[in-house]
Amino acid sequence: MRFLITGAAGFLGSSLANRLVREGHEVRGLDDLSTGDPAVLSPEVHFTRGDVNDRPKLWTLLQEVDCVYHLAARVLVPESLLYPREYNQTNVGGTVSLMEAMRDVGVRRVVFISSGAVYGDQQQQPVREDALPNPRSPYAVSKLAAEYYVKTIGGLWGIETLCLRVFNAYGPGQHFPPVHAPVVLSFLRQALNNGTLVVHGDGQQTRDHVYVDDVVNAMLAASTAPEVNQLTINVGSGRETSVRDLAKLVISVTGANPEVVYNPRSDRGSSRLCADLTLAADKLNYKPSIGLETGLRLTLERDTRLRVR
């Protein structure tokens, strides 16, 4: 098959692109390189630097494409509180630009990578796709608005759509910004440097950490799965881990001895979050295969940036 991946030079986009070319598919990648790095892409990926709002570029890249994976986005929740307009422009505007270009060229299917962040706080855990979304940041709002655009205009224009709500993905190659780094990578790095593990809040808040290879498996299945048009499907590990337990696991896996410090005044979003995977199992035959301890070990082994300096 022939694919276009937006955000192809990012963490999840590059993992997907490299896997697809290994499986013999033709892959075109688009990324503006605002955070992505094309050096991580296999040479067989046809890479183009560009913005997801650039429709003429999209028209060219979409020719004879069977399925689009849409991942291009700004992804930092705390940053989105400072720059909601930019988040709206890329995450919502970029999605609408892509959908228009798909309609113009006549592409059959789009898989939109949404986020478990759209759920916000929910009483019922694990959370099912039919829970009422409760976004708590401009990032989460932008992903939810983009979902609605994808489904609504996809339905009107005859484009098959599938939204995957990915929970907290981690693994080698995850983007590591200087501030607001994702918790798994940041704990690993701090532990290896025998620094301080800073836990925001009381450490009881939970997340569903899913290893990148499992997310890629779900994304692969999404391009050909039957009877998924207009669906939204969770992709996670189905396991709930508190930040406190994550810190303990990181310390055990690294064999390091960092100090763990709690910052009770900082609040980082919902208190509990865990994916119900019933629909993913049913529609995508998805079953996460890599537990958190194994995933942390694999990340340590494979992410060369984590070597102790």
- Interface residues with ligand NAD (CB under 6 A) are 6-7, 9-13, 30-36, 51-52, 71-75, 90, 94, 113, 115, 143, 166, 168-169, 175
Per the annotation, the verdict on 139 as an active-site residue is: yes
Of residues 71 and 247, the one with the C-beta less far from ligand NAD: 71
> What length is written for the chain?
309
Least distance between ligand NAD and beta carbon 260 (Å): 23
Q: Are 276 and 128 in contact (CB under 8 A)?
A: yes
Least distance between ligand NAD and beta carbon 291 (Å): 17
Q: Are 44 and 21 in contact (CB under 8 A)?
A: yes
Of residues 210 and 225, the one with the C-beta less far from ligand NAD: 210
Least distance between ligand NAD and beta carbon 124 (Å): 20
Catalytic option among 69, 87, 139, 170: 139
Please choose, from the candidates 21, 76, 54, 58, the residue with its C-alpha nearest in 3D space to the C-alpha of residue 220: 21
Tokens of 194: 């025998």
Neighbouring residues of 25: CB distance < 8 A, sequence distance ≥ 6: 1, 2, 3
Of residues 109 and 258, the one with the C-beta less far from ligand NAD: 109
Closest-CB residue for ligand NAD?
A: 10
Least distance between ligand NAD and beta carbon 220 (Å): 15
Torsion angle, alpha carbons of 185, 167, 123, 264, to 10: 20
Of residues 113 and 306, the one with the C-beta less far from ligand NAD: 113
Q: How far apart are CA 294 and CA 11, in angstroms?
A: 19
Active site (catalytic) residues: 139
